[in-house]
Every structure is written in structure tokens, then in C-alpha cells.
Structure 1
Amino acid sequence: MEMKRLVSTVLAGVMALSLVACGESASTAPATDSGDAAPAAEAEAPAEAEAEAPAAEAAASGEPITLKMWCIATESDSNRHAYEAAIADMQAKYPEITLEWEAFENQSYKTKIKAAVSANEMPDIFFTWSCAFLGDFVEAGKVYCLDAAYENYKSELPEVMLGNTTYDGKHYGVPLTMNIVGLFANMDLLKEAGYDEIPGTYEEFIKCCDALKAKGIIPFGCAGKETWCVTEYLESVIEKSAGADALNDIFLGRATWDNADVGAAVDTFQKLVKDGYFDPSGIGLTNDEVKNNFMAGKYAFYMNGTWNCADFANNAEFFPKVKVSEFPVINADKAKLGQLIGGPSDTLAVAASSPNAERAADYTFELGKLICHYGYLDGCGLPAWTPYGDTSSVNELTQAVAEICSNADTYVLFGDTAMDADSANTYLSYVDQVYGCQVDGEAFIKGLAKDIR
């Protein structure tokens, strides 16, 4: 019950915050006073049987059909079990619907789904990130509108959670879980350097990194082979230097990249690289390799999405060693604690070209609810859907993330999701160059200001 109350507080907080707007065509729910939002969110979650009632009515049986789905829940992905459990439930409940699904690695999937959209060769159901990433597909007329299907699930899925997948007032995505970028720490290694807690100020944080280095411990691991992993570090440094509003406005095209505070933040990040705080071999490693190194005790810190709580909790030897916090504030004149990178982003959508789009829409809502449910229990993120059933098994690390989010002030969606495809690709190219120390902060902001308009 205590965990349900905490998550209710988080949902109320999300409702009260100004989430990133996904462009001029998008329509996010307006910010409301948290005092008004809280009572609704604090209502008791429905019992599991009650939660399934609308879904049972919506996914009416019919002629046998086969639906195809693409996602990123690979064998090594934290969400794999949630997908497998949800799909098994759906197969048992709807034997007339055969789901053929494939999972692809994160980075390669972004290329694959964009190519499939261009060639009009999409699966019936596909994983996507919200905001501009999905918005490009919606604008091209390739995504099925979910307004009619959503009517059957409104009591279980707060409409505010659909804000990042709403375009011109219409809903096009089914949200799963929401996540933030967390600063994970191996506390056994920090204790070797004389620290019992993750430092709360940037000055102390740097002293801690220096103490780690003096003990022969690498402070950070980062997968340079997957650029999105580098953004988890860089965007956090920028947000805690220039402020969430400044970064959000830049991502949404409301302000120029030519921002001196952003340039200084890039230099701050690059100084960490040049000063040897990052594993030099990381530039050629995948995220799975870096995460495994972190759990094996090679690095003290790992900055990545809080969906990793599931993998950490499943490692009985490592789990007692790990804690999570948010990255410390670098410039208190512009930034503050509670400004987080992340928010509701992981989404399922239906292709407009699907010959069974109407049935696929209902199927996708119910499947999404189940993936969210199992993912939340596993620790893969906080729920976009109203929690139901017994949630007492949620691990302590995910509870700590919920506590961080309950005190959130602002969420800034991941940059390569918030921006349109062309701008995101340009941005990621510059991020690569920053991590490789090929461009400094000045070149980064001037180059992006010129190349992204």
C-alpha cells in the first residue's frame, strides 16, 4: 500500500508538471496546480479483476488473425520478461490472435523502423519513442489514430500520460512505463574511497571521483558505441548547468543552440573525459558491456535509464551494493535538484497500413497495460498506467526512483526523442565528436546552431 501511495504521488506530480511539448502540432495536457491533481491520483488503484473489465469488452473476439510487432525487448533488455509475460497472458486470453514479434537492439532499431515507415513496410504494432520521434511518422500519415480505442481504457490510463503522443489533439500511442536518467553508484567502491553516500554537491562529487582514481578505481563507464548512452551523461550535465528550461527550449526549437551556458556545460563534461574519469575503452563498448562491467565492479558510477533497476535487482550479489540518485547541480544560479532528464516516452503504436488496425488498436492497449504492469513489478520503470494488484514486490531501487520523481520540478525528454529525426541525427553526430574530444563546447554550440534550424 505504501508503494501505491508513493506512485500515486509521482503520477500526481507528473500531472502537475509541464512535460515537454512535442512540437507545434502536439498537444500536451496543461500544467495544473499540484494541490488539485493530488486527490484524483491518490484514489485507490482498482483491483486486478476490475482493471481487466474494460479491456475484455474492448478486445472482442472475431476471426483468427495474425499481428506482427517490432520492439527493442531483446534477450538482454531489462524489459524482456515484461514483454514475455504480457504476451503469454494475451495469447491465453485471445487464442484467435497470433502475435509474431521480433526484438532489435536499440540503435539499429531506430534505423530499421524509420526505413520501414519510408517504404510503407511496417508491422501492425511497433515500439516507438514519443514526441518528435513518433511525430514524424504521424505527420507522414503512417500511424493509426487511437482515439476510439482509448475510450475503453480512460479509467486506467490518465490522459496526461498520452501528452507526448498526442498530435493535433489526437492520440497515436500507448505509453508503457516512464523513466529518468539515474546516477547509479556501486557503494562498495565508494566506501573504498571514503564515501558512505553518493555526494550531493558537484564539488564533493568531483572530490569523490578524484578519491576513486587515487584508489585505482574508474569513476565512470559509458558506451561510446551507442551514442544515446553518451547523451545520458551529457544531457544531465547540461541540464544541471544551464537549467531545464533552457535545454527544453533548445530541444523543441524555441531557442538556439548558440548558448554560452550549454557550451560551458559541454566543456565541463569533456573535462571529465580528459581528466580520466571515464573508462578509455568505453568508446568502443556497447551498453550491455558497460553495464556488465559496472555490475562486475569495474566502475563506481553508471549514468543510464532507471529501467536498469530490474537488471540490478535480479543480480543477487550486486543488488545490495547499488544506490541511485540524481546528478548533482553544477550551476545553482541556473539549475536545481528536481530537474530530471526523462519522462513518459516508451510507447507502442499501430501502423495505419495494418489490415487489422482496429483490432490491433484494442490489442495494443491491453498489451501495453500488461507490459507496464509486469515492467513495474520487475523494476523497469514507473507505471504510466494506474497500478493494480499486489505491488509489494517492487524492488527498493525502483522505490528510490519513485522518491526522486515525487520531488521532481521539471522533466526534459531525451534529446534524440524530443527532436525531429534529421535534427536528432545531427545532434547525435556532434555528441559523438564531444565524447571523442574532436570538438569543444564552442564548436558544439556553433555547429549545431548552424546545422539545426
Structure 2
Amino acid sequence: MRALGNTSLSRRGFLAASAATGVGAAALSACGSSDSGNSSGKTTIEWWNITTTEPAKKLWAQRAKEFEAAHPDVKIKIVTLENEAYKSKMTAQTASGKLPDIYHTWGGGVLEQQIDAGLVEDLTDRVSSWTDTYVPAALAAYRFDSRTYAVPFDIGAVGFWYNKALFKQAGIDTPPTTWSGFLDAVRSLKSAGITPIALAGKEKWPGMYYWAYLSMRVAGLDAMHKAATDADFTGDGFVKAGQHLKDLVALQPFQKGFLGAGYSTPTGEAAAMGNGKAAMELMGQWAPVVEKDAGKGLGKDLGFFSFPAVEGGKGALTEVFGGGGGHAVRKGAPEAAVEFLKFFGEKEFAGKLVKETGLIPVSKDARGALTDPNLTAVSDALNAATGFQLYLDQAYAPAVGQEINDSVAALVAGSKSPQQVTRSVTQVAKSEKS
């Protein structure tokens, strides 16, 4: 499950973020000084994370104790913060130049800012020997100029979840692989009296996924990066992406009242899918759990397929939109911090996380622990990925990500044109850059 940029864990409806406990002011002010040891003569490694839910929280604490047992001269001090509180604290710590020894990162723009400020260790040479089996897509968000600055422990991707029974009812034999084929499938579902797509229009971010993927498929990944660098999203590829989304909206594919629908509410997007009231939703790997929680769940009738390719576009069907979580190390942290990351990533523990917490493995060595067919489908897409685009509220400045959410929501509602979307996003991007 992701917790990215402006988007919290609870907003995704997969993990209910709980308030952190036992985090005092002293803990929050000690960053950057833990290499000096303590009164017991041990080296203290301060580890900030956002793992507030069980069983992961217990497993992570257990792993820290196991490391301490193997390294009697090291103490792991865990600071667990709820997602939004963490982002707030880390913003302040980054501004002060004092980061924790080990800290959670989503990669992308925020990590790059920390790197540019000289606050993050370049881990390339120290982790390459044990991350060589990692899925390339899992490492992508943490690599800059071919250097690695964090080690992932989680990875996920957005794609279409679909109701196999409803597809069969509409005469759709296989999931579409092209955008024109996708629009044809929408028409077939409507003709059969089936709502094609469930969408949480009220929350905006689910609609943004469509524009993001269409931009990837039409403009291409290089254009996505260049637009952020140049603060200019007015290129033809981004306008065409908006037009393709407008074409979809014109087919009226969403459930009745979608503009006021939430994601995980009893009458929201996930419930519509989970109760068989819609044939598809575009969502991340957490979707099956939320569908079952908000509705009945589809069981064996649930399937997954990648976002279709757009004919004539520069992107490929095998390029993935998603994100995950990783750990970075502050510049000058004790070597034990890197040793802990290696210990944390060992195959046996990685397999335990997959089995007990539902994480998709970042290492191919841990893939055998993955038994859930839905998560396996996402993992397959990630393993076959030829390119990876980080969630836009991570890859770009937070204000830019929010403007994309807002402007795309306006496009879906019919109050903005594709050109207006690109101009609004560009205006905010230039403002952030100045």
C-alpha cells in the first residue's frame, strides 16, 4: 500500500493510520547526532518509519531486536509516526539539515531535494552486491544519475481491476490492450446494461490516475520527466492525454453519482466494485482488500490487467505507474545503519513480510513467498516492466501533484478543457520552480 506525497495511507483505504505513541520531543530533536554513542557505550541508530499498523509494526520492532542481538554494540531507536505527522516532521528536519540515521522515503522529488542539499548517503557501492536481485522498477524511484540513495522494501503498481463475470456477460473475451479496444469494451459493457467503471470523483486522486497513465502512454516517460524539469506541461502529448480522457468521459462510463463518491465509503468506488455494481476500477495493488472491506469482494471473479497502450503514442504497455516505500540513510550516519538495511532486506525476513503483511516483494528471491493471485498479477507486471513512473505527487513537487489532481477532476466534471489542465499545471510548476 502506498503513502505518497500528498496522499496518506488512510486515503488509499488500505491501512488505517494510527497515532504514533512514545515519540517525545527529545526523540525528534536528536537527529544527526546518533553516531556519538550513548552512556552504555553503544552506537545508537535512530530509525524513523511510518509503520503504524499490525502485524508489520510488531515485525519491524522484532527485526530491530534481532539486529541488536547480533550486534551487541548497537542500539536501534525506533521512532514511528503517522503518515501526515511524519511528512510534517521530515519537512522540518530537512530544513534544519538534521535527518534521522535511517528514514522512510518514497523517493522522487523530496528525496532528490535532500540529496541536492547534501543530506543523504550515496549507497550505490555498499548495497549493489545484495540488491542485484531487486526488481528494477522497485529501485527506480531511489536512483538519480545512476546512483542509488535508498533501498526499497515495498513496491506496487496501478492497473485495471475487473469483474470477469461482467466482462463475460458483455461478450468481452479478453481484457483490452489498446485504448481503442478499451473504449470498445466500455461501449460493450454499457450495451449490456453494466456500469463499466467505478470512480471516486469526490477524492480526485483516482481520476488523476487516468491522466497520468494516458500521459505516459501518449507523451512517454522522457516527456514526463522533462515536463517536470522544464516546468512545462503544455506539450502536445499532455493535451492529447486530456483529450483521450475527455473521450472516455463522453461515454458516461462511471457509476451514477460518481462525482460525489468516495473511495472506501459504503457507497463509494471500492464498494461498487466489491459488490459487482461496476466492471472495472483503475487502482493500486491494495484494491482487492478494500473491495472486500467496503463490499462483498469478487473472489475468483476478480482479475487484473495493465493500462492499455495508446495507438501512436510514445509509451509502451509494459511501462508501469506506481510507487512504494524505501529506507534512506543520512549523510555521515554510522556504518551500522547500512548494515541494518542489509539485515532488514535478507531473504528470510523479506519472505515473512510478504506472507504476513501482504507486501509485494522487491527482490526476486522473495517471490516464492507470494501466493495471493491478485498480488502475483501486480508483481508480474512489475517484473516485466520496461519503464516506471513514480506517483505524480512524489515525482513532482507536492503543489504540482495537487494541481494535477484538481485540474483533472475539473476535466472529468466537464469544467476544464484538456488545454486548460496543462496550462494550470504548468502555472503551478513554474511558480514552484521560481
Q: TM-score, normalised by structure 1?
A: 0.68
Cα pair 1:177 1:346 within 8 Å, conserved: yes
CA distance in structure 1 between the aligned counterparts of 2:408 and 2:43, rounded to whole angstroms: 47
**Cα distance change on mapping 1:281 and 1:341 into 2, 3 Å:** same
Q: CA deviation at 1:156?
A: 6.2
Cα pair 1:220 1:299 within 8 Å, conserved: yes
SS in 1 for 2:312: coil
Structure 1 counterpart of 2:242: 266
Cα pair 2:354 2:370 within 8 Å, conserved: no
Say which of 278, 284, 294 aligns to 1:299.
278
Q: Given the alignment of the two structures, is residue 323 of structure 1 paired with residue 303 of structure 2, yes or no?
A: yes
Q: CA deviation at 1:145?
A: 4.9
**Cα distance change on mapping 1:277 and 1:331 into 2, 3 Å:** same
Q: Given the alignment of the two structures, is residue 384 of structure 1 paired with residue 362 of structure 2, yes or no?
A: yes
| CA-to-aligned-CA distance 1:161-212 (integer Å, 9 cap, x gap) | 6554245676431212333321111212223323343233333322332343
**Cα distance change on mapping 1:439 and 1:116 into 2, 3 Å:** farther
Q: CA deviation at 1:240?
A: 2.7
Q: CA deviation at 1:130?
A: 1.4
**Cα distance change on mapping 1:147 and 1:407 into 2, 3 Å:** closer
AA aligned opposite 1:174: V
CA distance in structure 2 between the aligned counterparts of 1:200 and 1:162, rounded to whole angstroms: 26
CA distance in structure 1 between the aligned counterparts of 2:204 and 2:340, rounded to whole angstroms: 33
Q: Which aligned pairs between 1:65-84 and structure 2 lie closer than 5 A?
A: 65=44, 67-71=46-50, 73=51, 75=53, 81-82=55-56, 84=58
SS in 2 for 1:288: coil
SS in 2 for 1:327: coil
Cα pair 1:177 1:376 within 8 Å, conserved: no
| CA-to-aligned-CA distance 1:285-307 (integer Å, 9 cap, x gap) | 55434334422323321212235
AA aligned opposite 2:298: F
Structure 2 counterpart of 1:339: 319
Cα pair 1:252 1:418 within 8 Å, conserved: no
SS in 1 for 2:196: strand
Q: Given the alignment of the two structures, is residue 99 of structure 1 paired with residue 73 of structure 2, yes or no?
A: no
Of stretches 110-119 and 271-280 in structure 1, the one that deviates more from structure 2 is 110-119
Q: Given the alignment of the two structures, is residue 208 of structure 1 paired with residue 197 of structure 2, yes or no?
A: no
CA distance in structure 2 between the aligned counterparts of 1:378 and 1:269, rounded to whole angstroms: 38
Cα pair 1:149 1:362 within 8 Å, conserved: no
Unmatched runs of 5 consecutive residues or more in structure 2 = 1-39, 70-74
Cα RMSD (Å): 4.1
Structure 2 counterpart of 1:276: 252
% same residue: 21
CA distance in structure 1 between the aligned counterparts of 2:427 and 2:373, rounded to whole angstroms: 45
| CA-to-aligned-CA distance 1:90-134 (integer Å, 9 cap, x gap) | 3345365353423336xx865664355346686554322112231
SS in 2 for 1:176: strand
SS in 1 for 2:408: helix
More RCO (CA 8 Å, sep 6+): 1
Say which of 152, 155, 171 aligns to 1:194.
171
Q: Which aligned pairs between 1:57-206 and structure 2 lie closer than 5 A?
A: 63=42, 65=44, 67-71=46-50, 73=51, 75=53, 81-82=55-56, 84-94=58-68, 97-104=76-83, 110=87, 113-115=90-92, 117-118=94-95, 125-146=102-123, 150=127, 153=130, 162=139, 164-167=141-144, 171-206=148-183
**Cα distance change on mapping 1:68 and 1:176 into 2, 3 Å:** closer
Q: CA deviation at 1:135?
A: 0.9
**Cα distance change on mapping 1:145 and 1:260 into 2, 3 Å:** closer
**Cα distance change on mapping 1:227 and 1:178 into 2, 3 Å:** same
Cα pair 1:377 1:391 within 8 Å, conserved: no
Cα pair 1:350 1:360 within 8 Å, conserved: yes
Say which of 412, 429, 432 aligns to 1:452.
429
Cα pair 2:404 2:421 within 8 Å, conserved: no
**Cα distance change on mapping 1:311 and 1:349 into 2, 3 Å:** farther
CA distance in structure 2 between the aligned counterparts of 1:275 and 1:192, rounded to whole angstroms: 19
**Cα distance change on mapping 1:236 and 1:225 into 2, 3 Å:** same
Cα pair 1:161 1:175 within 8 Å, conserved: yes
CA distance in structure 2 between the aligned counterparts of 1:154 and 1:410, rounded to whole angstroms: 18
SS in 2 for 1:299: coil
Q: TM-score, normalised by structure 2?
A: 0.70
**Cα distance change on mapping 1:391 and 1:238 into 2, 3 Å:** same
Q: CA deviation at 1:82?
A: 4.7
CA distance in structure 1 between the aligned counterparts of 2:219 and 2:368, rounded to whole angstroms: 38
**Cα distance change on mapping 1:365 and 1:229 into 2, 3 Å:** farther
CA distance in structure 2 between the aligned counterparts of 1:231 and 1:428, rounded to whole angstroms: 5
Q: CA deviation at 1:337?
A: 2.4
**Cα distance change on mapping 1:158 and 1:62 into 2, 3 Å:** farther
| CA-to-aligned-CA distance 1:128-151 (integer Å, 9 cap, x gap) | 211223112222344455468637
Cα pair 2:275 2:296 within 8 Å, conserved: no
- How many pairs align? 381
